[in-house]
Amino acid sequence: DAGITQSPRHKVTETGTPVTLRCHQTENHRYMYWYRQDPGHGLRLIHYSYGVKDTDKGEVSDGYSVSRSKTEDFLLTLESATSSQTSVYFCAISDRTSYSNEQYFGPGTRLTVT
C-alpha cells in the first residue's frame, strides 16, 4: 500500500470556523489530489498539485484553498466552513509514470460542519 496518511480522521466543527486537513505521503510522488465524496455525487476533485507550490482547481473548488510547501504534504483549507462542506475528504497521490494516471488514496477524513 502507498504510504498516505490523512489527519485528522474525524472532525466536527461549527459553521464559520476555519478548518485545515492534512495529507502526508512517504512515496515522493509528484501529484497530489483532494477529493470529496458525497452520496449521489461520487468522488469529485477539489484541487490538485503537480509539484511544490504548483496547484490547480478541480471541479468543486469554491470555498477551498490548498497549499503544498513540501513534496510530502498537501493541505486543504476551508476558510469559513459551511454545512454544505460536510463530507468525507480523500487525498490521493500519483507518480504519473503510467500515462493512465493511476491514483492511490488515503483513508479519508470525515468532516461534519454543524
Give contact residues for other proteins (rule: CB under 8 A). Answer: 4, 31, 40-45, 48, 50, 56, 58, 90, 92, 96, 98-108
Minimum distance from residue 95 beta carbon to other proteins (Å) = 12
Minimum distance from residue 37 beta carbon to other proteins (Å) = 9
Residue number, 30 or 80, with CB nearest to other proteins: 30
Q: Which helix (H) or strand (E) holds 48?
A: strand 42-51
Residue number, 17 or 92, with CB nearest to other proteins: 92
Residue number, 43 or 75, with CB nearest to other proteins: 43
Got the DSSP string for 16-85? T--EEEEEEESS--SEEEEEEEETTTEEEEEEEEEETTEEEE-TT-TTEEEEEEETTEEEEEESS--GGG
Residue number, 9 or 16, with CB nearest to other proteins: 9
Residues 95/97/102/107 CA torsion (nearest 10 deg) = -20
Minimum distance from residue 77 beta carbon to other proteins (Å) = 20
